[in-house]
Every structure is written in structure tokens, then in C-alpha cells.
Amino acid sequence: MTFKKIFKNPVRVCAYFLVVIGLYFAVAGIIAAKGVLAPVIVALILAMLSVPLARKIESWKIGRVWSSLMVLLVNMMVIVGVAILVSLQVRDFLEDSDDLEKQFYPTMVAVENFVLEHTPLEKGKLESYKEDLGIGEDNEGEDEEKEVGENGTVEVLGATFSFLADFLLMFVYLYLFLFYRKKFFKFAMLLFPKGSRDKYKATIVKSVGMVQHYLGGRLILMVFLVILYTIGLWISGVENFVLASLIGAVLSLIPFIGNMGAYVIALVLGVGAGGDTSTVIGVTITFLIVQILDSYVFQPIVFSNKLNINPFFVIFSVLVGNALWGVIGMVISIPVFAIITIFCRNIPELKAFGYVFSNEEKLLKSD
């Protein structure tokens, strides 16, 4: 259909215009509702991951109430345990931050001298950039810092309370999803015509299985990554190698971007603690070897190419997730997009999208 034919029909033009406006407000609504929707989506994904454990417990003749509660406690222990481990490492790092700043100062001076010698940037301009970033020395802003500190304390308390509320709500949602999972599943079936329910039931089951397979495999890979990063960074002479390893494993949930961020953080920790060229080389070799093993050995074994998402849309979904919900959006972007891809492959009207989202030509056919 040509644009000329489209614009001859005012009703069709209005319909397209309303669709575009609707999409705009839908995206704006999703961004604005982050505080409400994010705990629900995370809890739903955790519930999908936890269903096999809940079924196993219920097979021991334990009721739904207690099985859901036990699974909830397992999730809480794992998440809180990892958070405590990371916080302890961060605390140790902050306690040494003054020493690290002194050790890192010569490196900063060397970088600054290199920039001034090999680029057209003038010293005055560089100093203004440093002041804008809060890096340079500033003896005139002590009163402002006190005022900002007082206001910042209130903001930190508010942000902490909000985070804890969302954190607890996430576990409440997780329990309810586990306890009422059959009811939610029947509700989903009632949304579709009676003759198509078997087809959509298979699609939903496949989506849940894919999320379980992906997240379960990713957790296994994170354990391997922590071990490999710890060994490599310890040999490289990174003082806070445990913290850098944990950060690297957690950021692996964010493809491409997370790996680069983890490498930069490990490099800063290594150089800031007095590391030399050998430390930089060691950190670089460690990340190269681990990423090669992760991409070409571990992931093919664990995932067995079951994710089936075009690499272009893996990156695109991560960027969209970041634009919508920040870090949490990047973390959940891949499982959410994988579910969308499965539905597109199994809905005739969306078959074209399922084809372009997928990684293999044969997936044009119905799964």
C-alpha cells in the first residue's frame, strides 16, 4: 500500500496517528511506573525460576502454603547472602579508600601530563573539566558541601526506605505468584479463544521453561566466573580481587556492556592499589581468557543455543531496558525479550517479527 492511498483515507491516517500516540504514552507510562512494575516483574521472573523447586517440595506431600514459604526463604537467603558478601567487600574497599587515593594520585598525574603533552587540550581547560566533574581541588565550597551533606542525608534515608520497601514487596509478590500460580495460569488461558488455548498453553509453558533455563544457566555461569576471575585477578596482583570478581560476575547479567564495565572496574582497582604495567596486562589477559571461555565453551554447553535471539536484538533490548528502567531494565531485558520472541514465533500475525528476532532461519516455521 502506497502513502498516496493511505492519505486518501482519513480514517486510516487517524488510526495510524492514534497508534503512534498510544505507543508514546505507553512507553512514558512504563517509565513512570518503574517503582510499581519493577518489583512485580522481578518477582515474576524469580517465580518462574523457582517453580521447579516448589514442585519438588510439593511432591514430598507438603502443602502449597509451606512450599511457597520455603522457596521464598531460599530466595531470600541467596539474595541477602550475596548482598552481605558484596557489602563486606565494599566496606573493606572504602576503609582503604584514602590509601588508594594516595596510591592512585601519581597515576592520575601521569595521565594528566600525557593528555597535556599529546593532545591540543590546554591546562586551564582541563582544570575546568576537573572542577565540573568534582575531581579538582576546591577550597571555596566547604559551606556548600555542608548544606549539600545535610540535604543529601535526607535523600539517602528516603532512597534507602524506598529500596527496602520495594525489596520486601518483591518477596511478597514472589510468594503470591508461587501460591496462586495455577490461578494466574488459568487466567492467562481464559484470555484466549477456546479453540486456540492448547496452542497458547504450549507457548506459555515454553516461555516459562526458557526463563528457567536461561536464568538457571546464568547463575551457574556466575559461579564459574567468580572462580575464574578470582584466580586470574589474584595472580595479576589486584588487591581487591574478590570484590572485582563479584562485580564481574554480577555484571555478566548485562551482555557486552556489563563485561566492559567489569573490566574497567577491575583495571581501576588494580592500578589504584599501586599496580603497574604487569597488573594491567594480567587483568586484560584474565578478562580475555574468561570471556573466550564464557562465550565459546560455557554458554554453548549450558544454554545449548536454546535462547535463539538475534545478537542485534540482544544488544538492542539491553539498550532499551537501560533507557526505560536503568540497570534493572538491562538485567531483565533478555528474558523479557526472549518471551516476546517466543510469542511472536507462535502468533501468525506476528510471524515476521518472530523471524527477525530469532537467530536461525528455520525458526520462521512454527515451533
- For the chain, the domains span 47-180
Share of residues in the chain with pLDDT > 70 (%)? 72
**pLDDT tens digits, 12-70:** 667 777 878 888 888 888 888 888 888 898 898 888 888 888 999 999 989 999 999 99
Residues 251 and 222: beta-carbon distance below 8 Å: no
CA distance 59 to 55: 6
CA distance 219 to 335: 14
Mean pLDDT, rounded, of the chain:
77
Place of cell 599501586: 274
HSE-CB for 56 with a 13 A CA cutoff: 7
CA distance 125 to 308: 49
pTM score of the predicted model: 0.71
Residues 335 and 356: beta-carbon distance below 8 Å: no
